Amino acid sequence: MSEKSVLVTGACGEIGQALVQSLNKRGYRIFTADLVSLPESIKNLPAEHIQGDLVNRIKIFYDYDFDLIFHLAASLSSKAEVATEDAHRINVEGTMQLLLLAAYKSEKLNKPVKFMFPSSIAAYGFPDRATKHAAGNVKEDEWNTPHTMYGCNKLYCEKLGVYYSRYCGQRHLDPVPPTMLDFRAIRFPGLVSAFTIPSGGTSDYGPEMLHSAAAGKPYACFVDAETRISFMAMPDAIKSLLMLMDAPRETLSSQVYNIAAFSLTAGEFRQRALGAFPEAQITFAPNPRRQGIVDSWPEDVDDTLARKDWGWKPEYDVDKFFNEYFLPAIKKRYQRPSTRTIE
Ligand code: AKB
C-alpha cells in the first residue's frame, strides 16, 4: 500500500468518481477538488475535499505537497461551445495554474510531481465526414486541427504540460533531469459509465441513449444514425490512467497517448439498445451544431504507441462492454427485467 498524496480535481465528474474509488483501494492519501460537494458514491471515502473554483483558490493548493495530480476538471465540448470564455478560463487557466504549482513543487522538493491529464479525441478536427472516413484510425500527431473551444483547450494544455516538464526556463538541460514535473496525457474517446450520466459533452448521445433505453424513457438522439466515433467503458478509462501513471518514465516515448476500445455508429448504439430493451423509443433528431462537432472527431484512433510503451489493451470490446459491464449494471440501477445479451 502506498501513502502517496494525490489530488483529483473535477472529482465529482464521471471519471473523477470512478477514479477516486480506485485510488482509495490503492491506499493513497486522497485530496479531492470540485465546485460542488462530493456525491454519494465517494463522499464516505477517506478524502479531504476542497470545494470551490480552482482558479480563484489556487493559493490553497500550495499548502499541500502532492505526489500526484489528476487534473480532471474541465468544461466539456458542448458546454464550452456556448460559453467559450468561461471554458477557456476553466480549461486553460485552471490547467496552467496547476501546472505551475506542480512545476514549482517538483523543483522545490527535488522530486517530480506526476501530472495526469485527460485529453480527448476533440484534439482532432476534420473538415467533413468524407475526410474523416478516409482518414480511418488517426495517430497522435495527425489532424491536430480542432474545431471546438474544448478541443483547442485540450490540445494547447497538452503542449503546456510538455513545456513545463521539459523546456520551462530554457535551461537546455539534456537529458531533462528526472526531478522535473512528469506530465502524462491520454486522449480519451467517448466514455460510457453504467453508474453515472455525462453532461456538457458531445459524445453524450451514446450513454444518454443507453441509459434512457434502460430507464424506459424515450430518447431523441442529437446526431444522425451514421455518425461514428470511438467509445470506451469507464473501467477501461480508469485502467488506462492507472497504467500510464505506473509506467516507468524511461519507457515512455511520448507524453500524449491515444487509447482505443471500440468504434460504433449511433445507429449501431440504437440496435444494441433495442436488442436489450426491445420496447425502447429511440429516434434521431440531429442538432446541426452538435452533429458538426462529432463529425469533426475521428471515427477511431490508432493506439499503437500506448500498446507498445505501456502495454495498453482494453478489457472491454463492444460485446463484452454491453454483455458483461453495461447491461448487468444498469439492470440493477433501473431495476429493469430485460437484459438479454446482445450482438
Ligand atoms: C465530450 O464529448 O466533450 C467529451 C470528450 C469526447 O472529450 N466526452
- Confidence (pLDDT) at 168: 85
Domains of the chain (ranges, CATH numbers) = 74-191+232-262+299-317 (3.40.50.720)
| 202 Cα: distance to centroid of ligand 1 (angstroms) | 6
Which segments of the chain have a pLDDT < 50?
1-2, 339, 341-343
Phi-psi region of 169 (alpha: psi -120 to 50; beta: other; left: phi over 0): left
What distance, in Å, lies between the first and last C-alpha atoms of the chain?
A: 40
Atom of ligand 1 nearest to the CA of 120: 7
Q: In this structure, are residues 10 and 74 in contact, taking their beta carbons and an 8 Å threshold?
A: yes
The three-class DSSP label of residue 62 is coil
Residue among 207, 293, 300, 296 nearest 261 (CA): 300
What is the maximal distance between C-alpha atoms in the chain?
64
Residue among 238, 195, 237, 204 nearest 41 (CA): 195
- Confidence (pLDDT) at 221: 98
Q: In this structure, are residues 31 and 54 in contact, taking their beta carbons and an 8 Å threshold?
A: no
Give the binding-site residues of ligand 1, using a 6 Å CB cut-off. 76-77, 120-122, 150, 188, 190, 201-203
| 203 Cα: distance to centroid of ligand 1 (angstroms) | 5
- Confidence (pLDDT) at 336: 63
- Confidence (pLDDT) at 331: 80
Cα separation of 127 and 143, whole Å?
A: 10
| 232 Cα: distance to centroid of ligand 1 (angstroms) | 12
- Confidence (pLDDT) at 1: 43
Q: Which of 75, 76, 191, 197 to mutate to test the pocket of ligand 1 (most atoms within 8 A of CB)?
A: 76
Residue with cell 500506448: 306
Atom of ligand 1 nearest to the CA of 121: 6
pTM (2 d.p.): 0.95
Cα separation of 273 and 214, whole Å?
A: 8
- Confidence (pLDDT) at 118: 98
Q: Which of 14, 90, 120, 191 to mutate to test the pocket of ligand 1 (most atoms within 8 A of CB)?
A: 120
The three-class DSSP label of residue 253 is coil
Q: What phi, psi does 89 have (nearest 5°)?
A: -60, -45
3-state helix, strand, coil in the chain (%, to 5): 45, 15, 40
Do the strands 228-233 and 262-265 form a parallel or antiparallel pair, or are they unpaired? antiparallel
- Confidence (pLDDT) at 343: 46
Show the cell assigned to 297.
Answer: 472527431
Q: How many residues does the chain have?
A: 343
